[in-house]
Structure 1
Amino acid sequence: MDLTECDGTVQQRVTRVRDSAVSVADDLVVQEMPVSLVYNGISHAVMMCTPCDLEAFAVGFSLTEGLVDRAADIFDVAVERHADSVVIDMTVAREALARIKQTRRTLAGRTGCGVCGIESIDLLDLQPQPVRDSSAAREVSAAAIGRAAREFPEWQNLMRSTGGAHAAGWCSLNGAVLAVMEDVGRHNALDKLIGTLAGRDVDLTRGFVFMSSRASYELVRKAARLDIPMIATISAPTSLAIRIAHEAQMRLVSFCRRDGFVEYCATSALKPA
């Protein structure tokens, strides 16, 4: 078990210049470290991430990448920390291991990189199935999205300390922020969130994900694999993210602020003014 405390920061001596005034002080910088994911002794991927909440990251990555169907397919997670790296060794079910061998990646993932190192375009999996139940997404009002945007920054402790972290949050249908995970990479933050929710046995069809980043293809694809009906982001979506959301029959809203947002998929019951 990962019992090592980690706040995701390191102290760095810096020189600050403000209005021609120069000062030297200690500052906090977000941690970034290579994390190797190993399944039944087989190395699958190396991702650059913040070395906190690593069991949740391992479970979430395995789920959102489609390597396992359920958290119960992961029998054990062992985190081995070194000075400049981490190895996460997982024991998974036989069926999951066979799938992992078929989709094995040999990659050194840049920060938050979801697809670098893929050997074939065919492995990108650009044809998602519709999410199991998208009806809950239609219940999310403009006021709920505004509430999530208002509450979200209060949960971003690592971002407040360093200015260099992304966050993924889980929100109820009325916009209450219930859980937030942070990481130097946005994909890693979402994986950590999914891994955390899996441990709590949360019904992922009855809420939505709120992200501090843009809506990239990989974030939407990961959410679709878990039947999450809605994803909301602070920044813009990409064209492929919109396409994947449409095909998965998900609701996608971006540029989320306290007083508004932009909707990109037609699952909402909201009507233009």
Structure 2
Amino acid sequence: MASTAASAAALVNGAYELAEGERWFDDRYVYVDILSGRLFELRDDKGPTAPCQLVQLDVPLGAVAPVAGRPGEWIAAAGTGIALLTAGGAVEWLDRPEDRTPAPSRMNDGVADPAGRFWAGSMAYDGTRGAGSLYRTDPDGTVVRVLDGLTIANGPAFTADGTTMYFADTAAGTILRCRVDRVSGDLSGSPEIFARLRDGEGGPDGMTIDTEDCLWVAVWGAGEVRRYHPDGHRLHTLTVPAPHPTSVCLHPDANRAFVTTARHGVKTPTATSGAVLGVPAPVRGTPGCAWGDRR
């Protein structure tokens, strides 16, 4: 297993409390600052530049995906559920399932799969064990609880064919993998443990898959990003200059990775805590998918 210290450049010194949910959509890179409910866009990644704020909600914003065929509109894991964000700034709630849970909770990271479904996890604000769930939002707007009993549901990430999903339970230190029926979106059996981090290694957070079907995972609390082969063995560890990397995204047209980081929970934050970092990478990624896009 190779291990290197990243030659990381801060693309955005945002002082974000909890930057996460980064994706490439067409020619733009988007990410969120969860606790402030803000969505940002970055179109020039060649050096430090000012991001454009696209949305600000009055609830936490975990992640978004574009709505197919409706420019400027997003599906979002936000607050206690799933919402549509219109180009005019209106919020249309599809469902708020976390309103019906005993522990005060919020939505967390999420992603659209190649079949046009949107998947997102949840967590209790106080980290109550087993209070988190994984949800699927079908192209018709139906929100389904797929799994429960999680603590901090993170990821997910899909292979290019949409039949394999990875996701993490950060608090448990586990990365899980399961088969997904591409037509129905149902899981084929129970998730299997793909990788488990030992005590003291940090917790798996946001993730993505590269063009070689390898999984990249940001490790909260460890200041590193890991790359795993599909057979489960770790290929590489990239050390980044921030203790809480929250997600990783790979440029689809250049050998470059982006890593969001957090100031949340850092006693003595620096300029790279709560930032967007640019890091050289050996491979490329694929553009994010849209919700409702049945490709």
Q: Do Structure 1 and Structure 2 share a fold, with TM-score over 0.5?
A: no
Give the number of the structure whose residues are more often strand, by fraction.
2
Query: If you compute each CA radius of gyration, which structure gives the higher value, 1 or 2?
Result: 1
Give the number of the structure whose residues are more often helix, by fraction.
1
What is the TM-score of this pair, normalised by structure 1? Answer: 0.23
What is the TM-score of this pair, normalised by structure 2? Answer: 0.22
